[in-house]
Chains A and B, each alone.
Chain A
Amino acid sequence: MLFKSKKPHFEYLRQKWTNKHKNLHANLLDKHKDVGRQLAISGIGSLMLLTTPAIGLLPAGKLSASGQIEHDVDRNSLLATELADKIPTQMQALTPEEEAQIGELLSNRFGFKVSAELENKKLNRSYGMIGGEQHLYRYPGDTLQAHSQNATDWAMYGGSGIAPGLGAWGHFAPSKAEFTKKDEQRERYYLAVQTFLSPGYAERLKEYRDFYKFRKMLVVNPKTGQAVVAVIGDAGPAAWTGKHLGGSPEVMQAVGLAGGPRKGAVLYFFIDDPEDKVPLGPVKVPERFG
C-alpha cells in the first residue's frame, strides 16, 4: 500500500483503526437499540474508557442525566487564588509561620490533616521546585510496558521511560505474584524527596528511613491549585540539580507540570493518615468548600 504521508505507518494505522472503531461502535448501537438511549445519554457507548484519573479531573463541563452540560466549578482554582498571597514571590523555603498558615488552609480545604512537620520530623523544605522523574521497576522482571493500564496510559506516560536503578526502598513488591493494587498505586503516584537533607537524618538513619518509606504527602501546584496525594518512593534529587523533589509521570500530570520543561514550584506537606484512609491520586477540593 502506498501513502503520500511522511509517516505512512501512522496513516495506515489511523485509517485502519478509525474504520475498525467506527464499525465496532455502530455494531454496538445497532445490536442494543433497546438501551440505545441509555448508552447515548450516559456516553458509555461512545466515550473512551476513563481509566486515567487525571482525565477525570479536567476542569471541564459534566454531562447530566438529561444530557445537558452542567457547569463544573473548579474549586482547586479557587484554592490557587487563596494561596496567591501566602506563597513567597521568590523560590525560597517557607518560614515556620508560613508553613503553619498554609498547612491549616490545605487541611481545611481538602478535609484531611496536612503539615510540614509530622512526628517531630520534617523535610529540608515544604515549598520547592519539582522535576519529572521516570517510572520505577516495581518487581523483579517488571517492564515499562507493563506499567500502562491501557493504551491511553501508554500514550500519556510511556514516553517518560523507566529508571535503570531501583527506588530508595528497592522493589515495591518482591515478585509479580505478590504485587498488589496498593503497590501499583504507590509507584504510579510516587515522589522523590531529599530525605538525606532533612534535619536529624544522618544521626537517626533507621528511624528516619522507616518514617519516610511510602509516607503520604499532598503536593499542590500553587499557581493552579491542582493537587495529588502521593507517597515518598525514592530519595533525591541531588542538591546540585537545583530541584528539590521529583514526581512520577502521573504526579507531574496531576499537578499540571507534565508538559514543556516538566518542572515547576509546588507545595509538599505530610498527610497525617494513620488509618490509611486517604487514597493516592489526583485530589479535588470537595464541594462543601465551593
Chain B
Amino acid sequence: MTLKYNMKFFYTKLVNIETLISNLDELDLSAGEKAHLANLVDSSLHSAILDEILSNLSPEDKKLFLEKLETEKDHDKILEFLNEKIDNVEDRVKKVSDQLITELHEDLKQAKEVTVK
C-alpha cells in the first residue's frame, strides 16, 4: 500500500494560514529555516485536526477513516463519510485549527521581541 494520504480538503476549505504566512514573511529567515518552521506548522495542524476527528469517531469508524485517508482519491467522499459520522465536522475542524493558529500567532509575536545576548 503506497503512502498517499492527505487531508487537503480541510486545508483548502477550513484552515486559513494566510495571515500566519504574512507574519512569517516579515522575519529574516533562510530557505532552510522557512522549510523547517513550515514543516512544524503543517505537522502540528495535521496532528491537531486528526486528533479532533478521531476523538469523535467510534473505534470501527476510526479504522475506516484511516483506511480511506490512505486509499480514497476522491476527497469529497472522505468529507462525505465524516459528515455522516460527526455532527458539524467542518466547524469542529475549523475551531481546532483556528485555535492552534492563534497560538502560533502569539508565538510569532513573542519571537519578534526576543533579543540577542
Contact = CB atoms under 8 A, between A and B. Distances in A.
B115 A13 contact: no
A51 B11 CA distance: 9
Say what secondary structure dominates the interface of chain B: helix
Contacts of A43: 3
A49 B29 contact: no
Given A16-B107, A49-B42, A50-B6, A155 B47 contact: no
Interface residues of A, number: 57
A12 to B, nearest CB: 4
Interface string A137-160: 000000101101111111110110
Contacts of B42: 48-49, 150-152
B63 A151 contact: no
Contact of A45 (B4, B11, B50, B115): B50
A42 B44 contact: no
Nearest to B19: A145
A168 interface: no
Interface stretch (A33-41, A260-268, A270-278): A33-41
B102 to A, nearest CB: 12
A44 B70 contact: yes
B47 A9 contact: no
A151 B62 contact: no
A271 to B, nearest CB: 21
A71 interface: no
Nearest to A25: B47
Given A18-B40, A152-B38, 18 more contacts: A3-B117, A12-B107, A17-B37, A17-B104, A17-B107, A38-B67, A42-B3, A49-B6, A49-B45, A65-B1, A143-B18, A149-B12, A150-B17, A150-B42, A151-B17, A151-B39, A151-B41, A158-B34
18 contacts: A3-B117, A8-B111, A14-B33, A14-B40, A17-B37, A24-B51, A27-B51, A28-B47, A31-B54, A35-B59, A43-B3, A44-B66, A45-B47, A56-B4, A145-B18, A154-B38, A155-B39, A158-B21
